[in-house]
Structure 1
Amino acid sequence: MTTNSDKTRPEPSFQHNQVTVDGVSIHVISAGQATKPAVLFLHGFPQSWLAFRNVMTSLADEFYTLAIDLPGIGESEKIPTNDTLTIAHYVKGVLAELGLTNVTLVGHDLGGMVTYAFLRAYPTDLARAVIMNVVVPGVDPWNLVKQNPHIWHFPFHSIPDLPEALVMGKQRIYFDYFFNTISAKPDKIDEQARNAYAEAYASYDALHTGFEWYRAFGQDEKENIAAKGELVQTPLLYLRGEHEYGTIEDYLTGFRESGLVNVSGQIIPGSGHYAPEEAPDEVANRLRAFVQ
């Protein structure tokens, strides 16, 4: 796929592989040369690795770009628990199995929460990290976001069993609601991508995994609060769409107060929540500058 704004850019040759970590098969997609600095992308809900296809296309000539289907989604097998620290453990395993060093970890939405957990658990394993369009449990402004009535899906997805019962078989309809309401440019998330995301969560186990991420927020919050004060020197870039709710300074202050020493932030102009698809060239430019 290509972006609507750049239909002439050739799509790189995406390589699809399965990597086994602790007996769990993880779907890994890559483009570019393995000799170049590695950038690994982690998606969020309700997406798959495909959310980063256009950003990877922009960066593949300069970097070794990789993305995964998070455990339990798409072509990755499920894991016993779905808190972000456990997911971070499997991400670390993927890096080890592939022999990757000098890695920039980029997480969007739930993937951003996993990136934060990775930074906390393995602070010297990354060259740098990027968190996009997400609040992190236990890190300001987490409490304000939880109290926002417009973030209704956090408590709804946390209810046991009910979301699965209501959404199973209607994934495309349900996911479209989010793509259409919290993006500034819904048309950038095209029909092919929307169908692919619904397919990635088509099984009960995959849909259950997606909701289990929300049910683990309480555990994520406790772990992140317990880690506050432990200094992390790894450079962190926080990216946020211009039309996202809240101000970016509140998020940057929260990261710094939690112990992340080297934090910077940038706004993606014209973008809502799904910045990697709404503004892939803008995202790629900011990642390129940050990594270089």
Structure 2
Amino acid sequence: MQQSIVKLLLFYGMAVFYGILVVFNLFIRMIKNPLKAIQSKERNIPPKCLSHPEVGTHSYITVNSVKIHYVEAGDRSKPMMLFVHGFPEFWYSWRHQIKEFSKDYWCVALDMKGYGDSDKPKGTTPYGLLTLVEDLRQFIEKIDHNGCILVGHDWGGAVCWVLLDNYPHLVDKYIIMNAPHYKVYGKLYATNDTQRRMAWYVNFFQLPYLPELSLRFGDFEFFDTLFRQFGTPEDVEAYKYTFSQPGALTSPLNYYRNIPFNKIEKQPVLNDSHPQGLFLFGSDDMYIVKDSVQMTATVVPNLTTKLVDNVGHFIHQEIPNEVNEIMRTFLKE
């Protein structure tokens, strides 16, 4: 008990430390360019790319007492391919995969709870990992499809891993990108100094208000930094519009704020009934060490791993054509 308290104090102590560094950085940037620091564009009308017919039609469903928004494309009679996004993304991050795979699958990309047009419950409790898994389980069962191809990235991948361990019968095959198995990530964070440094933002996001302020700084230039190299100006504007809406930053950050309270107990032993999966990882990920690939392969059966060089964390957006081809090859096996 005492050891747990010490770990928690150290965890929040690092949050304060990184908060001080961020405040100093924001102050320097404000001094250099005060006009840019305070600028903020009002966004009331969504960019046209979010409603373009080729990325699908918009629908809603209630699961676990929460309204979930999703976009679907393709023939409902075909196998379902379900896309689960990470942070700081929403359904639109799968646009390249929806366009490609809707020819052969019924593609469904949801806004996870707290994101986009889905409900945004207040507080951190609704964003516990097991609660998010229950959201996803009910979504799959209510959509009434016999099994699915499950595709997850980042936080979406973390949720998918727990779903797979508990409800493998809901999934035919799966593809997870740049999100190691939760047992692997927990071990890396506890023992690997490089991983702890790379995950500095996990500590920082524990703070109230300041993370939201830093992400809004300079009219959400955070999204310019993340996505401008592999997205069009309209793509970047889609992110800025989505995350500028009321509560649209706080709810996703609450995923992180609930991390110290996540408890995953009584996990079933993984066995040969675990569906066949692919773990795809961009080697230049700035947030997760690539050692996580081999480590995940040792704890998950029936898993194929592929490390792609010279690409980062958002692999499905950075090199969509190559990723789509890798996915097709795996699904044909």
Task: Give how far 1:90 is off.
Answer: 1.2
Hey, what does 1:175 align to over in structure 2?
Answer: 223
**Matched position secondary structure for 2:183:** coil
**TM-score when scaled to structure 1?**
0.83
Change (3 A) 1:145 1:233: farther
Residue 223 of structure 2 aligns with an amino acid whose one-letter code is F
1:133 aligns with 2:175: no
Hey, what does 2:22 align to over in structure 1?
Answer: none
Confirm or deny: 8 A CA contact 2:85 2:93 kept in the other structure.
yes
In 1, the alpha carbon distance for the partners of 2:82 and 2:67 equals 17
Say which of 264, 280, 285 aligns to 2:325. Answer: 285
* Worse overlay, 238-247 or 275-284: 238-247
In 1, the alpha carbon distance for the partners of 2:232 and 2:145 equals 32
Task: Give how far 1:26 is off.
Answer: 0.8
Confirm or deny: 8 A CA contact 1:237 1:265 kept in the other structure.
yes
| Matched-pair identity in % | 26
Change (3 A) 1:290 1:138: same
Residue 175 of structure 1 aligns with an amino acid whose one-letter code is F
Residue 264 of structure 2 aligns with an amino acid whose one-letter code is E
Q: How many residues are treated as equivalent by the alignment?
A: 273
- Cα RMSD, aligned residues only: 2.6
Change (3 A) 1:169 1:93: farther
Q: Unaligned regions of 5+ residues in structure 1, if any?
A: 1-9, 180-185
Task: Give how far 1:163 is off.
Answer: 1.3
Task: Give how far 1:51 is off.
Answer: 0.5
Task: Give how far 1:13 is off.
Answer: 5.4
In 2, the alpha carbon distance for the partners of 1:268 and 1:177 equals 22
Task: Give how far 1:197 is off.
Answer: 1.4
Task: Give how far 1:228 is off.
Answer: 7.3
Q: Highest Rg: 1 or 2? A: 2
**Matched position secondary structure for 2:170:** coil
Hey, what does 2:169 align to over in structure 1?
Answer: 124
**TM-score when scaled to structure 2?**
0.74
In 2, the alpha carbon distance for the partners of 1:135 and 1:212 equals 20
* Worse overlay, 125-134 or 269-278: 269-278
* Worse overlay, 136-145 or 69-78: 136-145
Change (3 A) 1:198 1:135: farther
**Matched position secondary structure for 1:244:** coil
**Matched position secondary structure for 1:154:** helix
In 1, the alpha carbon distance for the partners of 2:267 and 2:225 equals 35
Say which of 239, 259, 262 aligns to 2:302. Answer: 262
In 2, the alpha carbon distance for the partners of 1:247 and 1:168 equals 28
Hey, what does 2:276 align to over in structure 1?
Answer: 235
In 1, the alpha carbon distance for the partners of 2:92 and 2:55 equals 14
Change (3 A) 1:84 1:175: farther
In 2, the alpha carbon distance for the partners of 1:196 and 1:267 equals 29
Confirm or deny: 8 A CA contact 2:114 2:251 kept in the other structure.
yes
Q: Unaligned regions of 5+ residues in structure 2, if any?
A: 1-51
* Deviations 1:54-99, CA, capped at 9 Å, x for gaps: 1111111111111011111111012451122211211222212221
